[in-house]
Structure 1
Amino acid sequence: MDSNIIRVLLVEDDEDDYVLINDLLSEVSGKKFDVEWTDDYDTGVEAIGTGRHDVCLLDYRLGERSGLDLLQQALVNDCMIPVIVLTGQDDQTVDLEAMRIGASDYLVKGQIDSTMLDRSIRYAISHKQMECHILESNRLASIGKLAAGMAHEINNPLTTVLGLSQLLVAKQLPEQVSEDLRIISSEAERAAKIVKNLLLFARKTDPEMRYLNVATVLNRAQELKVSDFKTKNIAIINEVPPDLPETMVDEQQLIQVFINILTNAEQACLEFQGRGQLLIKAEAAPDCIKISISDDGPGITPENLDVIFEPFYSTKEVGKGTGLGLSICYGIVRQHGGELWVESEPGNGATFHIRIPIVAQDGTKITLAQGPAPVSPVTKNLLVVDDEPNIGNLLARSLETQNYTVHVAEGGVDAVSRLASMDYDCILLDLKMPGMSGKELFHRIEASDQKAAEKVIFITGDTSDANTHEFITGLNNPVVLKPFQLDDICRQVQQMLEAD
């Protein structure tokens, strides 16, 4: 559909006025108006609800019925287009009533020319677009608040279900019982991913660099496309190792990059052969993380390879792409200090390559050491602070299998008492607790022993809360999100102890 054409619905019972309005619109230079005319109330109600118009010009008088009644009915039916009321009467009372009900403007037929009519239509459309944007922003904010509360309430029991099922799977149990436990674990992970993805896209924050595993970010992007890939016959081969080194990245921005590349590959394959196969690979080099996304689509011609990352360049049909996607991806990767490029031959698919530098939490680039010697955890003392007894006991059981000595505090007050009686090599601290919160406890630890504060690993089920997000991003301490994998907890603890 041509975006230069403005689709107008004119509800007017006088044919002479229809001709007048049509003539005025035809005088507007640089624009084309596609006018659909209806001359009665009932047809007008039906037409305004179709959503196929950009604006409605509505006569105040429609025989024995009022245009204001039609406007009210349209709003009750969730009309999403702006409405401009037209009348032959210069009556301020009617003007105010029309605006009160929800009209975008009010024009007197004998006093308008083409310029005034064009300006009123442009204002009405832009005002409605702004109104819709505000409503959408408020809707997303409400979703964010709902998701934040939901995450905390759901992630705590999910953490227990997931962790206990993982502990039981490791035991020697009958095969059918083990298989049932694997299904329980898998379904709990599925529920956890739904919560995480809802939080990710509901939260509106400024870009934030965090110390993360790029494999987790890449896999989450793939999870968001799983449903599309299944319904559109796109096969995925994932060769991303889970133990990639952590680095400083903006999670939401990288997900945007990965989803854009995956979506472009999906569309290219579908247009080429109605199906497709994508290969996602990643590996760690001494100073960077290498990622590649390949498809078996039509490939990219040499002339297009030279301009594919330029703004507004697109091979898609008009209306199917802005041409900004890959240029934005390129800018995001460059902001991370990385590289993005593509290799392709016509007929042989395309491969997008991404390199992300490995950066320490203090912002310095690092080179991975080869073969670090493991630190024996035999004599290490750990403190777990969580108001959920099931989660505290779960963590203790898991960490004790690694030969750590683990104490569990069921809240901030209990933790203060234990910290006063002995020193701990690592503290796993839940942030959201009744009474003394994890944040308050951390500040107490920080005030009395800075080195102990540096040994804290935060655990939370909700980073969408503005205060929580601001708190953890202002520190260099590791953060583990509920529900977690027990292996992730053990790995974070070991990394903390090795860095000490």
Structure 2
Amino acid sequence: MSWLKSGLSIRQTAYAVSVVVVLAMAISSIEVMWAYRSERQRLISIINQWFESVADTSARAAYHVDQRQALAVLDGLIKFRTLAFAKITTDLGVVLAERRREISPSLTDPVAAWLFGDLVRQQRALMFDRSTLVLSTPSSAGGANPQQMRVGTIELNASPALVGRNFLANVGGLIAGLVFEFFLLAAALAFIFHRTLTRPLLRYADQLSRIDPQGVTTSKATVPLGHERDEFGLVVIRTNELLERIYDLRQAEMQAKEALLHQERVAALGSLLAGVAHELNNPLAILTAQAELLSETAEDEKTRARADKILKPAERCARIVRTFLALARQREVKKDHVDIEILIHDACELLAYPFKTHDISVRIDIEPDLPTIWGDGAQLSQALINLLVNAQHALMEVPGPRTVHIRAIQAEKHLSMTVSDNGPGISEAIRNRIFEPFFTTKAEGQGTGLGLSYCLSVADNHNGAITVDRQRDRGASITITLPTDTPPAAALDEQKPATPEAWQALQVLIVDDETELVSTLVEQLEHLGHSAYGCSNAAAALEALQHHTFDLILSDIRMPGVDGPVLYEEVRTHHAPLGNRFIFITGDSLDERARRFIETRLVPCIHKPFQLRELDQAIRHVMAASGTL
């Protein structure tokens, strides 16, 4: 059936032939009726001519009863091929003369007899008027001139077979010619129909069959030549517009799926980081605390310097872990005072290794005495890291030297952070689209197109703005501008620590499954002037509460068996006063259950690793809030 793809189908041919046959029959019928009427008029005219040609001599023969003359008249008429019988009768009914032609039975035609039978037998009256004979029809004889005298009749009988034979022959040829002409017309119409509609439709259908139904590619149908301005071309154009919409929707769907997968990967990474952070922060807490204790208790400067060398890398590792946790954490916006200088250095510290391996130098210019920003530190850190990562990717496309410049300045009541690079820059064609969700110029699989969109969202959340600066030289420069307004009054009240002026030694219960960390916490508390008792699990802590009196409990959140939240509920139930003097210490805050518990119960929490002053401030705040001190 492959021929159907390049030619007319059987159904189309049948349609064309049917139309032509109907047209041929209709036009043939009209032509036959016209020919029939014309033939009748011709025959009537011939018969009238016969009568008129013999009127004078026939009337004279009838008037004088001249048989010889009458026979001569009829002999002249009978010579006409279509005349079969002729007779002249006197007015008294006497047959004066008659002649008959023998017609072969083979020439008899019933169709001709049916069509022209009413014209076969014709009679005319013979009238005499002063030697002038007038031939008139019998029907008009009654109204004839009184001076005229009827002298007889003449009757002529034509052969219907011979009369209609010529007509039928002409009609047959006419019909055959019409049929032939209409079949030629049908072939021409079929060819035109095929060239103008069938073949373009078949090609259009073939193009549609090759278009990706999933909308992954931008395949389009082409408008057939000669159909650019007609309805068929309009159908193809509208189809291409529909295909473009399908492609755009498909791309948006794929980008949304990619973003969803990215979010799922981030969530999975967050869960992994939670465990990693817990495992890293415990030894980091020990390392930081021991280095800090060593620095404060060292008797010589050399030992103190060594302790500081240990403390600074440990704090750097702690900041990196906290930054990772902030990037992976999905939580509500929590605003606080944010030090932009610290935020910039932490972000650069996080990306120090990829910058170093790709030979990218970083220049930081921070205006002195910048005010703090009232905002979400995690969101601002993520936005800055996104800008730095984009700069890193852009610089990979250019040879060295590669430079990233970070600048922070204050202008009136606003503070701006600008990240610039000497990469290929941002073209005018895409400058207005770079903040659109899912828009990316990176290769497939190398970017989700959400980085700058997230930066715009962060700027909006902080009543700020993000702009793309026009560089005279090559490179890109993006600036985040944030207000330096003071926080709401309620937030300021929350920030005020209820620290008492007086201070006394406390009995503190420490609960953590890391025994080394418990020992370190005991040393820290003793350094602060308190007494401490350590337990490695919740069961031991509950047992200790039965035999000892404590002023404060420090407990880890994640512990094997009975965890921190369960221990807290037990303490509130059986040792109610200690419920208000409870501090959680944790190596991560990504666990959703633990985070909801802390936010619901409003239990103070400090994150490992922490410095000695942070621990001291937390203890003072809790004891003052409970009214104990």
- Normalization by structure 1: what TM-score? 0.56
- The separation in 1 between residues aligned to 2:487 and 2:587, in whole angstroms, is 26
1:422 partner amino acid? T
2:117 corresponds to which residue?
none
1:214 to 338, 349, 372: 338
1:236 corresponds to which residue?
364
Answer yes or no: is the 8 Å Cα contact 1:239–1:281 preserved in 2. yes
1:467 corresponds to which residue?
593
Aligned in 2, Cα 1:226/1:387: closer, same or farther, shift over 3 Å? same
- The separation in 1 between residues aligned to 2:333 and 2:584, in whole angstroms, is 17
Answer yes or no: is the 8 Å Cα contact 2:466–2:481 preserved in 1. yes
CA offsets, 1:40-67, max 9 Å, x none?
xxxxxxxxxxxxxxxxxxxxxxxxxxxx
Answer yes or no: is the 8 Å Cα contact 2:498–2:624 preserved in 1. no
- The separation in 2 between residues aligned to 1:357 and 1:350, in whole angstroms, is 22
Aligned in 2, Cα 1:342/1:173: closer, same or farther, shift over 3 Å? farther
2:209 corresponds to which residue?
116
Give the deviation of 1:113 after TM superposition.
3.2
Answer yes or no: is the 8 Å Cα contact 1:343–1:352 preserved in 2. no
- The separation in 2 between residues aligned to 1:399 and 1:213, in whole angstroms, is 28
1:411 partner amino acid? N
CA offsets, 1:288-326, max 9 Å, x none?
9x754256889xxxxx9xx9999549xx98999999766
Aligned-residue RMSD, C-alpha: 5.3
1:430 to 550, 556, 559: 556
1:445 corresponds to which residue?
571
1:249 corresponds to which residue?
376
Q: Do structure 1's residue 411 and structure 2's residue 504 form an aligned pair?
A: no
1:412 partner amino acid? A
3-state SS of 1:293 partner: strand
Answer yes or no: is the 8 Å Cα contact 1:359–1:365 preserved in 2. yes
Give the deviation of 1:440 after TM superposition.
0.7
Answer yes or no: is the 8 Å Cα contact 1:151–1:195 preserved in 2. yes
Aligned in 2, Cα 1:296/1:141: closer, same or farther, shift over 3 Å? closer
Alignment of 1:205-354 (within 5 A): 206-210=330-334, 214-215=338-339, 220-227=346-353, 229-230=355-356, 231-237=359-365, 249=376, 251=378, 253-260=379-386, 262=388, 275=403, 277-280=405-408, 292-294=416-418, 312=436, 328-335=454-461, 338-340=463-465, 352-354=480-482
2:211 partner amino acid? D
Q: Do structure 1's residue 163 and structure 2's residue 289 form an aligned pair?
A: yes
2:138 corresponds to which residue?
none
- The separation in 2 between residues aligned to 1:434 and 1:269, in whole angstroms, is 47
2:523 corresponds to which residue?
397
Instruction: Pick the structure with more helix per residue.
Output: 2
Alignment of 1:111-190 (within 5 A): 113-120=206-213, 122=215, 140=266, 143-172=269-298, 177-190=303-316
CA offsets, 1:130-179, max 9 Å, x none?
88777766655554444333333333222212211221122335555444
Give unpaired runs (5+ residues) of structure 2.
1-202, 218-249, 423-427
Give the deviation of 1:429 after TM superposition.
1.5
2:602 to 462, 465, 476: 476
Aligned in 2, Cα 1:481/1:352: closer, same or farther, shift over 3 Å? same
Aligned in 2, Cα 1:117/1:186: closer, same or farther, shift over 3 Å? farther
Q: Do structure 1's residue 456 and structure 2's residue 582 form an aligned pair?
A: yes
2:332 partner amino acid? E
- The separation in 1 between residues aligned to 2:257 and 2:421, in whole angstroms, is 41
CA offsets, 1:99-121, max 9 Å, x none?
xxxxxxxxxxx9x8332332346
- Normalization by structure 2: what TM-score? 0.46
Specify the structure having the higher radius of gyration (Cα): 2
Aligned in 2, Cα 1:267/1:146: closer, same or farther, shift over 3 Å? closer
- The separation in 1 between residues aligned to 2:607 and 2:529, in whole angstroms, is 24
3-state SS of 1:415 partner: helix
Give the deviation of 1:430 after TM superposition.
0.6
3-state SS of 1:432 partner: coil
